Amino acid sequence: MLTSAGVEAEAVRPNVDEDAMKAGLRAEGLPVRDQAMRLAELKAVKISQRRPGLVIGGDQMLALGDEAFDKPKDLEGARDHLRKLSGKAHTLETAIVVCENGEPVWRHLARPKLTMRPLSEDFIEQYVEQVGDPLLSTVGAYQLEGLGAQLFNKIEGDYFSILGLPLLPLLDYFRIRGVLPS
């Protein structure tokens, strides 16, 4: 997304044990949005300690009420996600943190709300068979930019945040910092 928006960026793996971190944050009883923000910050800080310049860390978690959803482990898990989300509204807690020299300098949390239409068991089965393994790379077992658009009857929030990066606020921050022309 950044490259398409004209921003030079390099993807770097932070080598963070997200599962262990999530387990600890959940044991603390943190709300899902705070879990996403902490994970985004951890990733950005870890890389920023090793690399110069501005480092963006991000994380997106799905909240159905107080319940956090992780990426499904397999296609049966994807079916379970869709069954639980069917006919309900959920929030995508989409956090980004920008760090410099190992310190957070900016953060943003977008909270798009998506309402999934009621799904029949037949529809879920067809959808999972048609899309397949790419469903395992998303917390909700859907990709809005493809067939996943058929799952919803209402969306509140910006498209980029749903895809995982609150791009417009980030571009504004880059303009303030002089990274992009204003």
For position 77, which CATH number holds? Answer: 3.90.950.10
Inside any domain, residue 37: yes
Inside any domain, residue 102: yes
How far from 165 is each of 30, 56, 76, 131, 160, CA to CA, in Å?
Answer: 22, 10, 27, 22, 6
Structure-token pair, residue 91: 């929030």
59 is catalytic: yes
Can you give the pLDDT at residue 178? 93
Task: Give 13-43 pLDDT, tens digit per residue.
Answer: 998 999 999 999 999 999 999 999 999 999 9
Inside any domain, residue 6: no
In the chain, the percentage of residues whose pLDDT exceeds 90 is: 95
> For strand 89-100 and strand 103-110, is the pairing parallel, antiparallel, or unpaired?
antiparallel
**How many structural domains is the chain composed of?**
1
Inside any domain, residue 182: no
CA neighbor of 62 nearest in space, from 119, 136, 140: 140
Mean pLDDT of 116-135: 97
Inside any domain, residue 8: no
Inside any domain, residue 25: yes
Out of 59, 70, 74, 172, the active site residue is 59
Can you give the pLDDT at residue 152? 98
Collapsing DSSP states into helix, strand and coil, what is residue 40? Answer: helix
Can you give the pLDDT at residue 94? 97
Can you give the pLDDT at residue 29? 94
Inside any domain, residue 3: no
pTM exceeds 0.75: yes
Can you give the pLDDT at residue 153? 97
Interatomic CA distance for residues 26 and 58, integer angstroms:
18
The range of the structural domain enclosing residue 154 comes to 15-177
- Helix (H) / strand (E) element for 168: namely helix 167-177
Interatomic CA distance for residues 38 and 58, integer angstroms:
9
